[in-house]
Structure 1
Amino acid sequence: MNEQKEFLKDYDDSKYKKPSTTVDMVILTAVDVGTNARSVPDKVLRVLLIKRKGDPLVVDVTDPYKGKWALPGGFVNYFEDLDTAAIRELEEETNVSNVYMEQLYTWGNVYRDLRRRVISTSYMALVDSSKLNVKAGDDAEAACWFDVKATTLEEIKTQTQTGYIRKTTYELSLVNGEQEIKDTVIVTKEMEGRTSKVDFECLDNPSGLAFDHATVIFYTLERLKNKVEYTDIAFSLMPELFTLTELKKLYEIITGKAIYSRNFRDKMEKQKKMVIETDEWESGKPYKPARMFRFNPDWVED
């Protein structure tokens, strides 16, 4: 203990430059859409964005992202761990707590923030938008939900002597009413023997999102798509009671694939036993009511 005190007494940490540390929150929800009142509505994923203060048309070298839409988030306090900072930011931006939240990835490209060296850890939070009272923080002009989806534009795979390089270009689209934001994200996977490396790049778009937030959102959508296949993560986006058709439509919008109803029912009820049938039925619907289900809290991941 004395040796440690002696070491710390003479330790000079000023010789190391100190980057700033932030957390970025990708807050997702699922809502019903569609105009056909006689059928179960489809669903769409939405992400919460905040609009930074300032005029985007006025060039400001001290803050090139003024007036742009971005993910909610903020700096980590000195005596605050990452998860605590993420929980605090979530509560400040949405006024809710005790929701599904998961740490995803740490983004550390040197010039991801042109003002200073910033290392950011991104989190995914899944919430029910009907229970939120969204507000803009002190450093934001507005906070809104945007429909979000990623579409594959091009994939090029090149063989190498010991593996391959696959470059896939995606378009990230975010829509709120008449406002649409589009960004291009490029994912490059290099496979050499048994070693793989994945790089993410967001092409510069003057009308796109601030910082590298398009890449952060795209990564989150991919993580959600992968996890929904083997975990119970989708139920964090559902109410306590739901029909199997409603649940199937959520799976379809997350995975981007059509699902055969009978196969889905067997998977949920028999194979995985993820849901429990209740004695309740839909009411007040213009179409044939369906039985309601709830998540099985005793379900165990395969």
Structure 2
Amino acid sequence: MKNKDGLTEKQFLDSYIPGDYDRPANTVDMLLFTVDDVPVEGKDPDKALKLLLIKRADHPYMGCYAIPGGFVHIDEALSTACFRELKEETNVESVYFEQLKTFGDLVQRDPRMRVISIAYLALADKTNIKEVAGDDASFAQWFTVRKDFISSNNSGIERVDTYNLTFVSDDGEIKIGYLVTERFIKNGVISIKVPSYELLGWSKEGLAFDHIDLVYCGIERLKNKIEYTPIAFTLLPKYFTLREIQKVYEAILHLEKPFSRANFRRKIKKMVIKTEKEKLTSGRPAICYMFNESWEHSFFDE
């Protein structure tokens, strides 16, 4: 078969010159989330959602915190690049991950050149990972992430919600904060959520590049997926108590009030299997459960 110029596919490919077209660079960025214990005096610990960030060791944004990631090699699969960069920059491997979103609408998002980023969402039990910075990262550490509701205003045409999105390092030395404004614009029966970000006045620094947008999208994906998938269980060891899995859900959803224990247990009863193991708590030993791998989400069970 020949095209309009009379060329077969082989002839066309032999004469094709890739350099005739500008080619943007491609990067992969990994949002690695976990949950960790927060001590509570006289009680069992709470849980906090945490994100691994690296401190950039070179320009651009030298000294700023960023999501681990880097450039994709020309002969490299995206998933391979993702794991390679995560290993090189943090020494973390063997985690659950899924592709989140492609970021490139902001053409000048990287001052070096046109860069399109494929972001991934990764989740891991913190007891199984140990981060060590390397490559173009000078330091890696966990940050507690919180999205706290401020206000909501509904004009009838659109709804506007505001939140504080904050990041606090484990040592308490680094604090980063943004005001997030979510505009819900009606498009027929569907409302489209459009976020915008403003660095809070007390925050001495922001995240590098447009990584605040990547983090926001990752948090929203995580919040949505725990409603209909068992994704939250990837943040816990094989055996856990019902209180521990409830605290994981509450940490991800950033609830102002905790779930009713009875309602939560009714919601997840088909997702867990009771075991003969027990775990010491501040009170009497608690029964341990494990994820029911036969569980499947059903719209009609809700």
**TM-score using structure 2 length:** 0.86
Q: CA deviation at 1:157?
A: 4.2
Amino acid at match of 2:47: K
Change (3 A) 1:76 1:141: same
2: CA distance, partners of 1:72 / 1:96: 11
Amino acid at match of 2:132: K
The equivalent of 1:59 in structure 2 is: none
C-alpha contact 1:202 1:212 (8 A) present in aligned 2: no
Amino acid at match of 1:14: G
Question: Quick one: which of 27, 47, 59 aligns to 1:43?
Answer: 47
| RMSD across aligned positions (CA) | 2.1
Instruction: Map 1:141-290; keep pairs closer than 5 Å.
Output: 141-159=138-156, 164-176=157-169, 177-193=172-188, 197-203=192-198, 207-257=205-255, 258-269=258-269, 273-283=270-280, 285-290=281-286
2: CA distance, partners of 1:202 / 1:116: 23
Change (3 A) 1:65 1:300: same
* Residues 106-115 or 10-19, more deviating: 10-19
2: CA distance, partners of 1:16 / 1:156: 47
Amino acid at match of 1:260: S
Residue-by-residue CA offset, 1:191-237 (whole Å, 9 max, x unaligned) = 23357654443336761111111111111111111111111000000
Residue-by-residue CA offset, 1:153-194 (whole Å, 9 max, x unaligned) = 4444455xxxx4444443220001132111233444432335
**TM-score using structure 1 length:** 0.86
C-alpha contact 2:148 2:254 (8 A) present in aligned 1: no
Change (3 A) 1:227 1:76: same
Instruction: Map 1:47-196; keep pairs closer than 5 Å.
Output: 47-53=51-57, 63-108=59-104, 109-159=106-156, 164-176=157-169, 177-193=172-188
In structure 1, list runs of 5 or more residues that go unmatched: 55-62
* Residues 188-197 or 288-297, more deviating: 188-197
* Residues 100-109 or 1-10, more deviating: 1-10
C-alpha contact 2:146 2:254 (8 A) present in aligned 1: no
Amino acid at match of 2:97: M
* Residues 65-74 or 1-10, more deviating: 1-10
SS of structure 2 residue aligned to 1:210 = coil
C-alpha contact 2:241 2:289 (8 A) present in aligned 1: yes
C-alpha contact 2:36 2:50 (8 A) present in aligned 1: yes
* Residues 80-89 or 45-54, more deviating: 80-89
C-alpha contact 2:90 2:134 (8 A) present in aligned 1: no
C-alpha contact 2:147 2:254 (8 A) present in aligned 1: no
In structure 2, list runs of 5 or more residues that go unmatched: 2-6
Taking only the aligned residue pairs, the percentage that are identical comes to 44
Amino acid at match of 2:28: V
SS of structure 2 residue aligned to 1:65 = coil
The equivalent of 1:20 in structure 2 is: 25
SS of structure 1 residue aligned to 2:44 = coil
Question: Quick one: which of 26, 29, 35 aligns to 2:34?
Answer: 29
The equivalent of 1:3 in structure 2 is: 8
1: CA distance, partners of 2:191 / 2:108: 24
Residue-by-residue CA offset, 1:59-78 (whole Å, 9 max, x unaligned) = xxxx4511100010011111
* Residues 289-298 or 194-203, more deviating: 194-203
Amino acid at match of 1:268: I
Aligned residue pair count: 285
SS of structure 2 residue aligned to 1:222 = helix
2: CA distance, partners of 1:194 / 1:236: 34
1: CA distance, partners of 2:126 / 2:12: 52
Residue-by-residue CA offset, 1:260-293 (whole Å, 9 max, x unaligned) = 1111122222xxx11110111113x442211111
The equivalent of 1:60 in structure 2 is: none
C-alpha contact 2:238 2:290 (8 A) present in aligned 1: yes
